[in-house]
Amino acid sequence: MRLPCPLCGDRDRREFYYQGAAVTLNRPAPEADADAWDAYLHLRDNPAGETRDLWYHEAGCGAWIMVTRNTLTHEVLGAELIEGVPA
Amino acid sequence: MARLIETSPCAGLLPRTIGAVDLSEVEPAQITLIAPFKGQQAAVSDALDAALGLTFPAPNRATGQGARAVWSGAGQALLIGSACPALPGAACIDQSDAWAIVRIEGADAARVLARLTPLDLRPEVFQQDHTARSVLGQMPVSLTRVGRHAYEVMVMRSMARTLVQELTRAAQGVADRIEPSI
């Protein structure tokens, strides 16, 4: 599998570290109720189809990226730097 | 007070020649990591240009002859072979003793590296002054093409022996290949 790092171009999967679903970017407000924090920390979807997840280009440029890919076809649709994603 | 003897990272290991490949150690006078502060990269590049005649490199590129700036990750580059000028817009860290640099040169250099790294090293893709952070075997490395058949591989100093071992083994494998006769 190759991932399209926005800085480095297409690179081998072994250069990357997988972090998980990109929902962790949507952090609840500090005063949000327990349910919101419970969902943020523990509840994950398991979508069949397009997903977005976080990868760390560990052995490459050191950037965190958000990769869009399809879990049904294994197609990698794109990636963007986390730096550029609005919080 | 004890007097310490300074040795280079690959002392006693290099140079060596295996088949059509020469391995040698590169020992630059100084290596400095330069990480421009947010929004300061253009100013840092101008300051480097004024002081040393080289610019801050774009991602996956190296700049300069003699003293060189080699991109080494998001927002950072290594200044190799020169003292670092005053750069108020950047964090500058002396890493002279942190790196081991091995030059691999010869007709089979790309073939040897291709056994160890997942990078696309075809000459039309990975050109002169192109650089990449990647893996070589299990090690994180910085790999730069410095000539038609010449590359420089940088690893953290503690991995010097492993780097030489990996390159030697791969070069031996390439050298031992028997091309099928037709």
* Series of mean pLDDT values for 10-residue runs along chain B (182 residues): 88 93 94 95 94 94 93 95 92 95 95 95 94 95 95 96 96 87 62
Mean pLDDT of A72-83: 93
pLDDT at A50: 94
CA neighbor of A67 nearest in space, from A49, A86, A81: A81
Every domain of chain A and the residues it spans: 2-84
CATH classification code of B16-28+97-176: 3.30.1360.120
As beta bridge partners, residue A55 has: A18, A65
- Measure CB to CB from residue A59 to each of B59, B60, B133 and give the nearest one: B133
Joined together, the tokens standing for residue A7 give 């800085």
Q: Please tell me the distance from the alpha carbon of residue A64 to that of residue A55, in angstroms, as a whole number.
A: 6
Mean pLDDT of A48-69: 94
Joined together, the tokens standing for residue A53 give 């997840």
Every domain of chain B and the residues it spans: 16-28+97-176, 31-94
Q: Which pLDDT band holds residue A87 (cuts at 50, 70, 90)? A: low
Q: Which residues of chain A have a CB within 8 Å of the CB of B74? A: 7, 61-63
Cα-flanking dihedrals φ and ψ of residue A7, to 5°? -90, -40
Question: In chain B, which residue ranges form alpha helices assigned H by DSSP?
Answer: 41-52, 109-114, 160-176
pLDDT at A58: 94
B133·A61 Cβ contact <8 A: yes
- Do residues B67 and B5 lie in contact, with contact meaning Cβ atoms separated by under 8 Å? no
pLDDT at B180: 67
- Do residues B127 and B145 lie in contact, with contact meaning Cβ atoms separated by under 8 Å? yes
A59·B132 Cβ contact <8 A: no
Q: Which residues of chain A have a CB within 8 Å of the CB of B134? A: 11-12, 15, 59-60
Interface with A, mutate which of B33, B38, B41, B60 (most A CBs under 10 A): B60
Chain A residue with minimal CA distance to B61?
A8
* Chain B: closest CA distance from residue A35 (Å): 37
The CATH architecture one would assign to domain A2-84 is: 2-Layer Sandwich (3.30)
User: Is A13 a residue whose pLDDT tops 90?
Assistant: yes
B133·A58 Cβ contact <8 A: no
pLDDT at A86: 60
- Do residues A76 and A69 lie in contact, with contact meaning Cβ atoms separated by under 8 Å? yes
pLDDT at B72: 95
